[in-house]
Amino acid sequence: MGSEIAPNLMARIIVPRLLTPRRVQSRLPDTLEPIDIGDGIVAWREHNSDPTMPLALFVHGFDGNHAQWSDIETVVRQSGYRAIFLDPPGHGSSRQGQCDPIIFSKAVRASFECFGPVSLYIGHSMGAVAGVLGTSEVAGADAYILMASPAVMSHTIRATAQKFGLGSVAIDALLNEVGRRVGSHPSDLDLIKFVEKRVAPALIVHDRSDRQVPFGEAERIHASWPNAQLFVTNGLGHNRVLRDGDVLAEIVKFLSTRSGL
């Protein structure tokens, strides 16, 4: 009720919390070493990894952590890649503070500039969005795996707000406040205009029952990305797609088509 009476006040209170991740330190194996890529952003790479091997860059989503990648990392390594893991702003060992798609994508761009060339980009949720936005003006990866990715950020925010019972007036105020703090309205953060001319192959993985990012977002990305394939799961939700056996098998199949592997 209060959100409809004073929606702008509600938005100013809620949005800073929405844009500030919970601080979770990933339990990383001793075989990984931190790399400072500037502006308080940290990435992790394997000690003494072979620099001649193709590079896979892993980027988890908002409030995510590296442990989520354990199963996928295994099959990616077995497919002949070395791995680097990014701590997005507000996560892991990187600087604290606000984390939104723009800030996220700038960290991804810095990673590409620091470690490139990147053979494979693997992103989950907002990490998937950042992989597309962050490489819109620089050389991107040779291939992408986007898991549970939004297409238009306003769609995801609106769907989530509706589940919490917020009405249209409150949701509009929420979106406007996000836009004010991020510097771009969520409706303008649209992946479609960034994927239409992509030539790199992409594997898009999404579950029909994902309650955080509607399945329709995957369909939009797939329809717009010229060289993309869509792998659909059922009953896994937003996070379990990261460790499902059928998904792992599809990733191995996708990577087996990459030249030189």
Checking if the pLDDT of 227 tops 50, the result is: yes
- Identify whether 186 is part of a domain: yes
Checking if the pLDDT of 57 tops 70, the result is: yes
pLDDT tens for each residue of 77-91? 999 999 999 998 888
Question: So what's the pLDDT on residue 17?
Answer: 76
pLDDT tens for each residue of 110-141? 999 999 799 999 999 999 999 998 887 777 89
Checking if the pLDDT of 253 tops 90, the result is: yes
Domain count, the chain: 1
Average pLDDT of every residue of the chain: 86
Read off the tokens for 246: 């059928």
User: How far apart (Å, rounded) are the C-alpha atoms in residues 247 and 61?
Assistant: 18
Instruction: Dump the DSSP string for 25-92.
Output: -----TTEEEEEEETTEEEEEETT--TTSPEEEEE--TT--GGGGHHHHHHHHHTT-EEEEEE-TTST
- Identify whether 27 is part of a domain: yes
Question: So what's the pLDDT on residue 170?
Answer: 83
The domain containing residue 120 runs over which residues? 2-256
- Identify whether 14 is part of a domain: yes
**Higher-scoring residue by pLDDT: 3, 17:** 17
User: How far apart (Å, rounded) are the C-alpha atoms in residues 59 and 148?
Assistant: 13
- Identify whether 261 is part of a domain: no
pLDDT band (50, 70, 90) for residue 59: very high
CATH number for the domain spanning 201: value is 3.40.50.1820
Question: So what's the pLDDT on residue 218?
Answer: 96
- Which of 103-112, 183-192, 244-253 has the least mean pLDDT? 183-192
pLDDT tens for each residue of 32-55? 889 999 889 999 988 878 888 999
- Identify whether 32 is part of a domain: yes
Checking if the pLDDT of 5 tops 80, the result is: no
- Identify whether 146 is part of a domain: yes
